[in-house]
Chain A
Protein backbone atom coordinates (compact mmCIF):
# COMPACT_ATOMS: atom_id res chain seq x y z
CA UNK A 1 0.00 0.00 0.00
CA UNK A 2 2.00 2.94 -1.38
CA UNK A 3 -0.44 5.75 -0.50
CA UNK A 4 0.96 9.05 -1.78
CA UNK A 5 4.27 8.87 -3.67
CA UNK A 6 6.34 11.89 -4.63
CA UNK A 7 9.17 11.94 -7.14
CA UNK A 8 11.92 13.02 -7.04
CA UNK A 9 12.90 13.09 -3.37
CA UNK A 10 15.69 15.62 -3.88
CA UNK A 11 16.59 18.05 -6.64
CA UNK A 12 19.01 20.90 -7.16
CA UNK A 13 18.23 23.44 -9.85
CA UNK A 14 19.94 26.52 -11.19
CA UNK A 15 18.00 29.77 -11.35
CA UNK A 16 15.88 29.84 -14.49
CA UNK A 17 15.71 26.08 -14.99
CA UNK A 18 12.38 24.30 -15.11
CA UNK A 19 11.21 21.08 -13.56
CA UNK A 20 8.11 19.05 -12.75
CA UNK A 21 7.34 17.36 -9.46
CA UNK A 22 5.13 14.30 -9.68
CA UNK A 23 2.61 13.17 -7.10
CA UNK A 24 0.84 9.83 -7.45
CA UNK A 25 -1.81 8.37 -5.16
CA UNK A 26 -3.30 4.89 -5.28
CA UNK A 27 -6.23 5.48 -2.93
CA UNK A 28 -8.69 6.69 -5.59
CA UNK A 29 -8.94 10.06 -3.86
CA UNK A 30 -10.74 12.93 -5.59
CA UNK A 31 -8.88 15.80 -3.95
CA UNK A 32 -5.16 16.49 -4.24
CA UNK A 33 -2.97 19.31 -2.93
CA UNK A 34 0.51 20.77 -3.24
CA UNK A 35 2.08 22.51 -0.22
CA UNK A 36 5.43 24.04 0.48
CA UNK A 37 7.05 24.01 3.90
CA UNK A 38 9.48 26.72 4.90
CA UNK A 39 11.12 27.28 8.31
CA UNK A 40 8.84 29.14 10.68
CA UNK A 41 5.96 29.24 8.19
CA UNK A 42 4.31 25.87 8.42
CA UNK A 43 2.72 24.35 5.33
CA UNK A 44 1.29 26.74 2.77
CA UNK A 45 -1.09 25.62 0.03
CA UNK A 46 0.20 26.26 -3.50
CA UNK A 47 -2.51 24.70 -5.71
CA UNK A 48 -5.13 22.06 -5.29
CA UNK A 49 -7.52 19.95 -7.36
CA UNK A 50 -11.01 18.70 -6.55
CA UNK A 51 -11.08 16.20 -9.40
CA UNK A 52 -9.54 15.03 -12.65
CA UNK A 53 -9.16 17.94 -15.05
CA UNK A 54 -9.66 20.63 -12.38
CA UNK A 55 -7.15 22.85 -10.59
CA UNK A 56 -7.40 25.88 -8.33
CA UNK A 57 -5.05 28.38 -6.72
CA UNK A 58 -4.12 28.16 -3.10
CA UNK A 59 -2.39 30.63 -0.82
CA UNK A 60 0.95 30.95 -2.66
CA UNK A 61 0.41 30.02 -6.35
CA UNK A 62 2.77 32.48 -8.07
CA UNK A 63 5.60 30.88 -10.02
CA UNK A 64 3.93 27.45 -10.12
CA UNK A 65 1.61 25.64 -12.47
CA UNK A 66 -0.24 22.37 -11.99
CA UNK A 67 -2.06 19.75 -14.01
CA UNK A 68 -4.41 16.89 -13.11
CA UNK A 69 -4.81 14.95 -16.33
CA UNK A 70 -5.35 11.67 -14.52
CA UNK A 71 -7.18 11.19 -11.23
CA UNK A 72 -4.22 9.50 -9.58
CA UNK A 73 -1.58 12.07 -10.60
CA UNK A 74 -1.05 15.71 -9.70
CA UNK A 75 1.91 17.50 -11.28
CA UNK A 76 3.56 20.67 -9.98
CA UNK A 77 5.64 22.64 -12.46
CA UNK A 78 8.21 25.37 -12.01
CA UNK A 79 8.73 27.09 -15.37
CA UNK A 80 11.64 29.33 -14.32
CA UNK A 81 12.97 28.42 -10.88
CA UNK A 82 13.99 31.15 -8.45
CA UNK A 83 15.99 30.89 -5.19
CA UNK A 84 12.79 31.86 -3.31
CA UNK A 85 11.36 28.51 -4.42
CA UNK A 86 13.92 26.61 -2.39
CA UNK A 87 11.69 24.63 -0.06
CA UNK A 88 10.32 21.22 0.85
CA UNK A 89 7.26 20.37 -1.21
CA UNK A 90 4.52 18.06 0.01
CA UNK A 91 1.69 16.50 -1.89
CA UNK A 92 -1.48 15.35 -0.14
CA UNK A 93 -4.78 13.74 -1.06
CA UNK A 94 -8.14 12.93 0.46
CA UNK A 95 -11.54 11.58 -0.59
CA UNK A 96 -14.24 14.05 -1.55
CA UNK A 97 -16.92 15.23 0.84
CA UNK A 98 -17.08 15.64 4.58
CA UNK A 99 -14.03 16.47 6.64
CA UNK A 100 -11.67 13.87 5.39
CA UNK A 101 -8.13 13.66 6.63
CA UNK A 102 -5.41 14.57 4.17
CA UNK A 103 -2.74 11.96 3.52
CA UNK A 104 0.74 13.25 2.74
CA UNK A 105 3.66 12.07 0.69
CA UNK A 106 7.21 12.04 2.05
CA UNK A 107 8.16 15.32 0.39
CA UNK A 108 10.54 16.66 -2.25
CA UNK A 109 13.46 18.78 -1.08
CA UNK A 110 14.25 21.36 -3.76
CA UNK A 111 17.21 23.73 -3.78
CA UNK A 112 17.45 26.52 -6.34
CA UNK A 113 20.92 28.02 -6.64
Chain B
Protein backbone atom coordinates (compact mmCIF):
# COMPACT_ATOMS: atom_id res chain seq x y z
CA UNK B 1 0.00 0.00 0.00
CA UNK B 2 1.39 3.35 -1.08
CA UNK B 3 1.23 5.54 2.03
CA UNK B 4 2.56 8.60 0.23
CA UNK B 5 1.23 9.24 -3.24
CA UNK B 6 2.09 11.75 -5.93
CA UNK B 7 -0.60 11.34 -8.53
CA UNK B 8 1.01 13.43 -11.26
CA UNK B 9 4.03 11.73 -12.84
CA UNK B 10 4.86 14.91 -14.75
CA UNK B 11 4.15 18.63 -14.85
CA UNK B 12 5.14 21.20 -17.45
CA UNK B 13 5.04 24.98 -16.82
CA UNK B 14 6.33 28.12 -18.44
CA UNK B 15 9.22 30.03 -16.97
CA UNK B 16 8.02 32.71 -14.59
CA UNK B 17 4.72 30.99 -13.81
CA UNK B 18 3.79 29.06 -10.68
CA UNK B 19 4.50 25.34 -10.35
CA UNK B 20 2.27 23.40 -7.97
CA UNK B 21 3.24 19.85 -7.04
CA UNK B 22 0.84 17.77 -5.00
CA UNK B 23 1.19 14.93 -2.53
CA UNK B 24 -1.34 12.86 -0.58
CA UNK B 25 -0.76 10.56 2.36
CA UNK B 26 -2.83 7.94 4.13
CA UNK B 27 -0.97 7.29 7.38
CA UNK B 28 -2.40 9.56 10.10
CA UNK B 29 0.74 8.98 12.19
CA UNK B 30 2.86 11.01 9.77
CA UNK B 31 3.74 14.31 11.39
CA UNK B 32 6.72 15.60 9.43
CA UNK B 33 6.91 16.12 5.69
CA UNK B 34 9.74 16.91 3.32
CA UNK B 35 10.29 17.68 -0.33
CA UNK B 36 13.40 16.49 -2.13
CA UNK B 37 14.62 17.50 -5.56
CA UNK B 38 16.55 15.18 -7.85
CA UNK B 39 18.52 15.94 -10.98
CA UNK B 40 19.52 13.13 -13.40
CA UNK B 41 22.54 11.09 -12.29
CA UNK B 42 22.53 12.76 -8.86
CA UNK B 43 21.12 11.84 -5.48
CA UNK B 44 18.05 13.57 -4.04
CA UNK B 45 18.71 16.80 -2.19
CA UNK B 46 16.57 18.30 0.54
CA UNK B 47 14.45 21.26 -0.49
CA UNK B 48 11.97 22.19 2.24
CA UNK B 49 10.06 20.60 5.12
CA UNK B 50 7.03 21.19 7.31
CA UNK B 51 5.92 19.93 10.68
CA UNK B 52 2.30 18.94 11.28
CA UNK B 53 1.94 21.78 13.80
CA UNK B 54 2.17 24.23 10.91
CA UNK B 55 0.14 24.67 7.76
CA UNK B 56 2.68 26.64 5.75
CA UNK B 57 6.43 26.97 5.46
CA UNK B 58 8.19 29.31 3.09
CA UNK B 59 11.78 29.47 1.87
CA UNK B 60 12.46 31.93 -0.90
CA UNK B 61 10.62 30.85 -4.04
CA UNK B 62 9.45 27.61 -2.40
CA UNK B 63 6.40 27.26 -0.16
CA UNK B 64 4.94 24.07 1.23
CA UNK B 65 1.31 23.93 2.35
CA UNK B 66 -0.10 21.23 4.61
CA UNK B 67 -3.79 20.37 4.93
CA UNK B 68 -3.95 17.79 7.71
CA UNK B 69 -7.68 17.18 7.48
CA UNK B 70 -7.34 16.28 3.81
CA UNK B 71 -3.98 14.53 4.33
CA UNK B 72 -2.61 16.61 1.50
CA UNK B 73 0.43 18.76 0.97
CA UNK B 74 1.62 20.84 -1.93
CA UNK B 75 4.80 22.53 -3.03
CA UNK B 76 4.55 25.90 -4.76
CA UNK B 77 7.44 27.29 -6.76
CA UNK B 78 7.10 30.95 -7.71
CA UNK B 79 8.43 32.07 -10.11
CA UNK B 80 9.48 28.85 -11.82
CA UNK B 81 12.89 28.79 -13.48
CA UNK B 82 14.37 26.39 -16.06
CA UNK B 83 16.88 25.24 -13.41
CA UNK B 84 13.93 23.96 -11.36
CA UNK B 85 13.41 21.20 -13.93
CA UNK B 86 13.93 18.01 -11.92
CA UNK B 87 12.08 15.17 -10.24
CA UNK B 88 10.45 16.20 -6.96
CA UNK B 89 9.81 13.65 -4.24
CA UNK B 90 7.46 14.10 -1.34
CA UNK B 91 8.43 12.23 1.86
CA UNK B 92 6.89 11.73 5.29
CA UNK B 93 7.89 10.42 8.68
CA UNK B 94 6.19 9.55 11.96
CA UNK B 95 7.59 10.61 15.33
CA UNK B 96 7.68 7.13 16.82
CA UNK B 97 9.32 5.58 13.76
CA UNK B 98 12.71 4.11 14.47
CA UNK B 99 15.72 5.79 12.95
CA UNK B 100 14.05 8.81 11.32
CA UNK B 101 12.72 6.63 8.53
CA UNK B 102 11.15 8.35 5.56
CA UNK B 103 8.39 7.10 3.26
CA UNK B 104 8.64 8.54 -0.24
CA UNK B 105 6.11 9.20 -2.96
CA UNK B 106 6.64 8.15 -6.56
CA UNK B 107 7.99 11.51 -7.68
CA UNK B 108 6.83 14.18 -10.14
CA UNK B 109 8.96 15.25 -13.10
CA UNK B 110 8.78 19.04 -13.37
CA UNK B 111 9.78 20.66 -16.65
CA UNK B 112 10.04 24.44 -16.79
CA UNK B 113 10.08 25.70 -20.34
CA UNK B 114 11.98 28.91 -21.21
Contact = CB atoms under 8 A, between A and B. Distances in A.
Nearest to A104: B43
A113 interface: no
Contacts of A33: 99, 101
A100 B34 CA distance: 11
B45 A104 contact: yes
Interface string A80-113: 0000000000101010101111111111000000
B41 A107 contact: yes
A41 B1 CA distance: 11
B98 interface: yes
B101 A42 contact: no
Size bracket, chain B contacts: 20 to 34
A50 B43 contact: no
A101 B46 contact: yes
Nearest to B4: A42
B51 interface: yes
Contacts of A40: 9, 106
A60 interface: no
B43 A105 contact: yes
Interface of B: 4, 6, 9, 32, 34, 36, 41-46, 49, 51, 89, 93, 98-107
For the complex of A and B, list the 4 residue pairs with the smallest distance between their C-beta atoms, beginning with the closest. Answer: A104-B43, A42-B104, A43-B104, A42-B106
21 contacts: A40-B106, A42-B4, A42-B6, A42-B104, A43-B89, A44-B104, A45-B103, A49-B99, A56-B98, A56-B99, A58-B101, A90-B44, A94-B100, A99-B100, A101-B34, A101-B46, A101-B49, A102-B102, A104-B36, A104-B44, A105-B43
